[in-house]
Amino acid sequence: MAAQQAQQNSSRHTVRIGLGPLSATDLVAVARTGAAVELTEESMAEMARTRAVVEGLAADPVPHYGISTGFGALATTHIPTERRAQLQRSLIRSHAAGSGDTVETEVVRALMTLRLSTLATGRTGVRPSTATTYAALLNARITPVVHEYGSLGCSGDLAPLAHCALALMGEGEVFDADGVRRPATEALAAADITPVQLAEKEGLALINGTDGMLGMLIMALTDLERLVRTADVAAALSVEGLLGTDDVFADDLQQLRPHPGQAASAGNLRRLLAGSPIRDSHRDPAACTRVQDAYSLRCAPQVSGAVRDTMAHARVVAERELAAAVDNPVITPDGRVESNGNFHGAPVAYVLDFLAIAAADLASVSERRTDRFCDTSRNHGLNPFLADDPGVDSGQMIAQYTQAAIVSELKRLAVPASVDSIPSSAMQEDHVSMGWSAARKLRRAVDGLTRVIAIEILTAARGVDLRRPLEPAAGTGAVITALRAHVDGPGPDRHLSPEIERTVALVAAGSLLTAAEHAIGALD
């Protein structure tokens, strides 16, 4: 079994984890594509060096937090030498107190990878053998069962990380490489992994970090990079299908308000709409008496651009956090063991909430454009709801309902989690970040945004098709062609839900964005 696993790992990309920060790209590779991990020689040496510091303090009659004391509000309780192994086991067992649905595999792999990255810095004082066994779990694709509820986002994502540490001890439940839920002791034995017998401080080092919320932030940013460009594709289709103007996206107008995200979005819209026969059909002022388009069309780059700028700020926070070694206490490079508050999740929690707000607003403006297609007073000559035979057919009527329901949910998810705090641990931990909760709702927001953008593309493509014999631009036309390989064009009513789900899958996979970029080049 071990030989077979080694062969599987050798065929996969391997991420080296060492003293320097882990990259977001490498994290996503381990979390989502099953890339293997390998600890560098430098990290092994540094872990061995700082472990010697911990072992020296373990023999000290003076209590040291995390080494010879209890935890949290019990930090003043001195633990005798013969009971310290029990202390570490008890810490993990008691803190593995999650509840609710199981968390997605990619989230668990992300938080484990980030915890391993911190262990590899040597700042936590764990034994090198403990870190290598943790890496072995990842490489064997053994995923501990982690539950939805249990983290307050302070003192780290305690419960989620404790469930991972429990599996490292050969206890609790896991999903094996085949996705089968089974006892950890069985899965580890099948992978030839010997469970770890935790030593001084190791239990605390395994659970004290912002790894869950940070992993979810990085994966959300990865998804939003794709979605914000796809939102520009959707907006371009809507501008074209609703006989809007691209004049307002001119570069000199954007430079009057020099937000970088806005400039990028407007540039995308100009390129997507370049050379559109539909647009050219109503350039003559005598034939088109409208002075201005509605805000949802005219202000598309201002909204999409603001999302980009919010993402840029969140990316800075994520990069700083990736460079962090979060534990309490930490072993400093000069050998001191110091308590600190670096585990507090506020920096990450704030940007997670900020991104949920941005996602909700980007979805909101998308839904407004879809609604315009459905209304004969605003869709400039198209049938009501883009129906083939209005009255007999309902067209896109209920697709917009679905979109509206999702947008309403996204507005609820935009309510910040990080403004809440419930004291815990007998008031020792009297202010917490709720960053895990912020991350969980952002994941739902990203899913909702994906669906809203997909429904706009589905609707706008139908609207553009109904403008024939006028042809769309090269960029938008390529998107419609890609969509039509999976979803039929205008016609009598069909079962709509499968078409929505197929479009959602295309948006989530980036297929429609890729089609546009193949036609006109990479979008910003």
Q: 246 and 193 share a domain?
A: no
CATH number at residue 153: 1.10.275.10
Q: Are residues 189 and 232 in the same domain?
A: no
Interval 200-241: pLDDT, tens:
899 999 999 899 999 999 999 999 999 999 999 999 999 999
Catalytic residue among 65, 149, 350, 401: 65
Mean pLDDT on 434-458: 97
Examine the pLDDT at 296 and tell me if it is beyond 70: yes
Q: Which of 209, 239, 265 is the last residue of a domain?
A: 209
**What CATH code is carried by the domain that includes residue 424?**
1.20.200.10
Q: What is the 3-state secondary structure (H, E, C) of 55-101?
A: HHHHCCCCCCCCCCECCHHHCCCECCHHHHHHHHHHHHHHHCCCEEE
168 with 227, same domain: the answer is no
Instruction: Assess whether 95 and 159 both reside in one domain.
Output: yes
Rounded Cα gap, residues 336 and 262, in angstroms: 48
363 lies in the same domain as 503: yes
* 311 and 451 both lie in a single domain: yes
**Mean pLDDT (whole number) for 39-60:** 92
185 in the same domain as 259: no
Q: What is the mean pLDDT of the chain?
A: 92
Give pTM, 2 decimals: 0.94
Q: Give yes or no: residues 275 and 404 share one domain.
A: yes
Q: How many domains does the chain have?
A: 2
Domain boundary among 173, 189, 209: 209
The answer to whether residue 401 is catalytic is no
Domain range for 455 is 216-520
Nearest CA to 173 among 203, 150, 211, 147?
A: 147
User: 4 or 365, which is more confident?
Assistant: 365
Regarding whether 200 and 243 lie in a shared domain, the answer is no
Domain ends where: 148, 175, 209?
209
Three-state SS string over 137-175 comes to HHHCCCEECCEEECCCCCCCCHHHHHHHHHHHCCCCEEE
More confident: 259 or 417: 259
Same domain, 168 and 278: no
Residues 227 and 351 grouped into a single domain? yes
Q: Summarize pLDDT for 252-285 with one digit per residue, the tens.
A: 999 999 999 999 999 999 999 999 999 988 887 7
In this prediction, residue 185 has a pLDDT band, given cuts at 50, 70 and 90, of very high
Looking at the structure, do residues 379 and 342 belong to the same domain, yes or no? yes
Which of the given ranges, 55-64, 329-338, 361-370, has the highest pLDDT on average?
A: 361-370
**pLDDT at residue 46 greater than cutoff 50:** yes
